[in-house]
A and B are shown apart, each in its own frame.
Chain A
């Protein structure tokens, strides 16, 4: 029972999802819409709560045990609680009862997203520019002709994206464009087809109950 009920539910819902596109009938369409828009969305919300609970417990334990960098867990928990209060009781754009502005200073959750998360995210991703450049410096050595090919194509594409490339020669942006559209497309397409075929095989194994690792241990 501990394995058969979840497995039966997986197979039944899997078949409903699988046949959705092939059954243009109001009945199955309504069922699919209910599953997609109501049932599974609510279930996914609870999964998020579980994940957040896990995060909070993890950082409480980190503070309790005074693990490495534990004071930063206060930052995480404090910012989470404060922003959650603002978001839950102030509404997405500050339309609920909790005050989300002082004078002209807005601090509703959407503003927090735009003014804190976006700068932090952009800065973190842009950090990679420095590290990728230094990694390229260390690893881009033309040891053989295939490595040289990689180096040259990367160099041309980088040069083709900036005005300097067109300044050196108007052909460089065109070659860069060609590399992106022809050999890059061919390689990406081959890799993508391989990945998707592999994924489909795994999905079908899950649907037919052959792949059961998601059930975890037998407890």
Chain B
């Protein structure tokens, strides 16, 4: 046994044991770890946001513009939003401050402005992104072509059969989740096929997730036995 002398290893051990104490029952040690996690995670996010967004994107351009205006006077370049030093960065700051109008009676509605701008831009932006990044590739991957069976084009007999199974599975799954029409006749056949794939898929996802969590647990035990106690190498 070779006990660690690193303070951070001891901190990690105490916190790991605090969290694992929940296996017995909910207790103050677990809640301590839980609250510490939330506090530190938020502080990290705040620091990261301050050093990576507020200072370089807002504060430095504004301070630079103030300095240049003091030395050379106000020039049109100081109002160019793309310039390194410009006064216009104050506008997003002011729009951001509108979030706090939520607490000011009478102008509460102004909180909708930053929300609307943020939501609007990213709503518009993700529509083509979803088509390009998800719908088209997923459909392309599902369509069975001659190439799926052709060894010269990276396919083969088994690959072709698997491609057909995937196609049947996708159509079946979509049919199973199609609730606009009663599951009768052909739709019932499709839905019944779909549920088979869905159950196998859920089972596989469950098994995969359990194993991912188990590997995390193994990582923590390796940390305790190797880094802290030094009983394994």
Interface residues of A, Cβ cutoff 8 Å to B: 2-3, 5-7, 9-22, 30, 34-50, 52, 55, 69, 72-73, 75-84, 86-88, 91-92, 105, 109, 111-113, 115-117, 119-130, 132-133, 136, 146-147, 149-158, 161-162, 179-194, 196-197, 199-200, 203-204, 206-207, 214-216, 219
Contact = CB atoms under 8 A, between A and B. Distances in A.
Nearest to A155: B207
Contact of B203 (A19, A157, A181): A157
Contacts of B153: none
B232 interface: no
Interface in B1-54: 7-8, 11-12, 15-16, 19-20, 22-23, 28, 31-54
Interface of B: 7-8, 11-12, 15-16, 19-20, 22-23, 28, 31-54, 57-58, 81-82, 89, 91-93, 95-97, 99-100, 102, 108-109, 112-132, 134-135, 138-139, 141-142, 162, 165-174, 176-177, 194-211, 213-214, 216-217, 219-220, 223
Contact of A113 (B44, B54, B91): B44
B8 A111 contact: yes
The 7 A-B residue pairs whose C-beta atoms are closest, nearest first, are A186-B169, A190-B173, A87-B47, A187-B201, A46-B96, A17-B124, A157-B207
Given A46-B114, A116-B40, A206 B123 contact: yes
Contact of A184 (B19, B201, B219): B201
B interface SS class: helix
Contacts of B117: 9-10, 13, 39-40, 43
Contacts, number: 393
